[in-house]
Amino acid sequence: MIKADCPGIDFSDEPQDILCILNCGLLNGINTEIIIDQINGLGKVQDFVLRSHKSYCFLKFEAASDAEKVYEKFLCKKFWNDCAPLLLAYCRHLPELNQCERENDPDGLILLEEFITPELERTLISLVKCDDENKMKNRQVQHFGYEFIYGSNSVDHSCPLDRKIPKECDELWSLLDKAHSNLAGFRPDQLTVNQYQPGHGIPSHCDTHSIFEDPIISLSLGSAIIMEFKNPATGVHFSKLLPSRSLLIMSRESRYGWTHGIVPKVSDIVKSKQGFLTVQHRQLRYSFTFRKLRIPPSCDCAYKNLCDMKPTEVVSEEFVPKEVDENLAAKLEKENVHKVYNEIGNHFSETRHSPWPNVEKFIINVPENSILLDVGCGNGKYLSVNEKVTKLGCDRSETLLQVCVERGHRVFLCDCLSIPIRDNSVDACISIAVIHHLATHERRLQAISEMIRVLRLNGLALIYVWAKDQEKDNKKTRYLLQNQKKEESLSPTKAPEIATLTIDEKKIELPVHRNRTQFSHTSNGNVLVPWKLKQKEVGENEQKVFLRYYHVFNYGELESLCSEHKNVEIIDSYYDQGNHCVILKKVY
């Protein structure tokens, strides 16, 4: 597998300055912090190569003798108790960067280090008032000028605040005028101040295009941090260290075409002054993010993947369902998820044969004698993978569970919102194509909470959800390529078919998706997807088409949902054949 991924890789029997861990990588829970912590004192690491959803990694040392010390100590030994014994090999060179990793900053991303003096830093930090009124789940926050609305990443320009941007910030603009002539005259009218404790982060996001002008400016105070950037159109990502007292300018492509976020963890891997990689523990950090409102809202940028004004996102109000409460959501799921899968279960099972490769890899890399739980196991196609692991499956469909029983799997009936397993009792968990059937943000959040609850410390969870965008890098997913009738997605100006569901005498209108086409008519992700039974499965007068409820996910939405749980770390996130995917690790 490594040679296929890294053409030209050259292994060596003699000690080299590069060491490959053949069976441990991001896929099965290793990260740079673990590596640095374990080999501390044995050798100086200059570089890493850890690839998304791969179970191997590379380390480059200052000298071959450093690599040899690590090789001799850890060959066939474990980094931690639940880790497999390490398989190690010397390499003559590092593989080239993954095509989804980036060496150069995108256009318009500028970092001005030591932008302010320590005295001004202390003055600005003194402005931060931390109390219960300004407290969010994972951080303290204050707004000036306008309140920044989390969730939509925007503001209501009709509701200005009495609290304006403090005059102590005025010195920043004279400094900016001198440091960057292209931004001379920039004067923001909105400021959000966040206080972050070590271990806190922010979900990956892009500030709403039509609401804010170019640029977005962020001042880091108190502690350095690693910020993650990702281009949803290409999948390219990179990390950037933001030192204390530095000013980050996001303009042009970096403002409109990239998301940015901070992974919730207590330390980062950074380069020392000597050029070696080391662990830098996070401390109390403050961010001052300045924005200027665009009135009236508008945007004609070229970055349509993240633009809220792109034509495919303009949906008539009559096609957007009203927000449903928890009781109504549960009944919607009962009628258009649970009952449907009980009806179509046997036919559905016939179409689900082979495990998806990256899910299979995850299960194969679960350590021997571990316990793995498959939440929403369906017909149990993943319960046959890796015979060295004890596997349990649960599902809401009696029909699909009967298929599992006939195949000899250990399964039980339950709702993913309430798993009847005690806390801290399984080593790994998967949830493949399940959470997108839940009808509210809170219910999707609860489903992830349940998986985290049953995981043991350092346990891993793999989650897959259906992506709204079924094309990546201008390549169609298998879902679109299987469009045998060559049907086209509805144009943005043509109304989709609308289904009116009546639940408890309340009417909910949802667009009906045209199978094997892009999701072009669901601005909020809520949609009904038809399932057509084979003729032999139904009687002559029975219903042949069933409508299943889905919430299809935007780029960054799954990561954002997971980041609301502060006791997990996102080990990896990726796009896999029309699905958004994350690997979580329970850290406490």
- For residue 115, being part of any structural domain is answered with yes
Domain span at residue 386? 326-468+555-586
Residues 414 and 545 in one domain: no
Q: Binning pLDDT at 50, 70 and 90, where does residue 313 land?
A: very low
Residues 539 and 563 in one domain: no
How many domains does the chain fold into? Answer: 4
Specify the CATH number for the domain of residue 46.
3.30.70.330
Q: Write the pLDDT tens digit of every residue in 330-383.
A: 999 999 999 999 999 988 888 888 899 999 999 999 999 999 999 999 999 999
- For residue 299, being part of any structural domain is answered with yes
Residues 120 and 177 in one domain: yes
Domain final position from 36, 64, 91: 91
Specify the CATH number for the domain of residue 129.
2.60.120.1520
Q: Write the pLDDT tens digit of every residue in 100-112.
A: 444 578 889 999 9
Which pair of structure tokens corresponds to residue 354? Answer: 């082979």
Residues 499 and 380 in one domain: no
Beta bridge partners of 248: 111, 218
What is the structure's pLDDT at 494? 46
Residues 338 and 271 in one domain: no
Poorest-confidence range of 63-77, 129-143, 416-430, 445-459? 129-143
What is the rounded CA–CA span in Å between residue 278 and residue 32? 9
What is the structure's pLDDT at 199? 82
- For residue 104, being part of any structural domain is answered with no
What is the structure's pLDDT at 550? 95
Q: Binning pLDDT at 50, 70 and 90, where does residue 43 land?
A: confident
For 206, the 3-state DSSP assignment is coil
- For residue 98, being part of any structural domain is answered with no
For 389, the 3-state DSSP assignment is coil
Q: Whole-prediction pTM value?
A: 0.54
Section 495-499 average pLDDT: 70
Residues 246 and 125 in one domain: yes
Quick one: DSSP state of residue 193? E
- For residue 85, being part of any structural domain is answered with yes
Helix (H) or strand (E) holding 121: helix 118-125
Residue 160 in contact with residue 170, Cβ under 8 Å?
no
Beta bridge partners of 463: 431, 582
Residues 491 and 453 in one domain: no
Residues 150 and 241 in one domain: yes
Q: Write the pLDDT tens digit of every residue in 166-198.
A: 999 999 999 999 888 888 889 999 999 999 888
What is the structure's pLDDT at 38? 81
What is the rounded CA–CA span in Å between residue 460 and residue 448? 12
Domain final position from 43, 61, 91: 91
What is the structure's pLDDT at 516? 76
Residues 406 and 484 in one domain: no
Q: Binning pLDDT at 50, 70 and 90, where does residue 538 land?
A: very low
Q: Binning pLDDT at 50, 70 and 90, where does residue 276 land?
A: low
Distant-in-sequence, close-in-space partners of 313: CB < 8 Å, separation ≥ 6:
307, 523
Integer CA distances (angstroms), 490 to 170, 391, 481, 483, 508, in order = 50, 42, 17, 14, 21
Residues 240 and 377 in one domain: no
Average pLDDT over the chain reads 83
Backbone φ and ψ of 63, nearest 5°: -145, 155
pLDDT at 535 over 60: no
Residues 390 and 458 in one domain: yes
Q: Binning pLDDT at 50, 70 and 90, where does residue 408 land?
A: very high
Specify the CATH number for the domain of residue 369.
3.40.50.150
What is the structure's pLDDT at 560? 87
Percent of the chain residues topping a pLDDT of 90: 46
Q: Which residue has the higher pLDDT, 473 or 39?
A: 39
Integer CA distances (angstroms), 116 to 35, 65, 172, 413, 521, in order = 35, 42, 8, 59, 47
Residues 80 and 147 in one domain: no
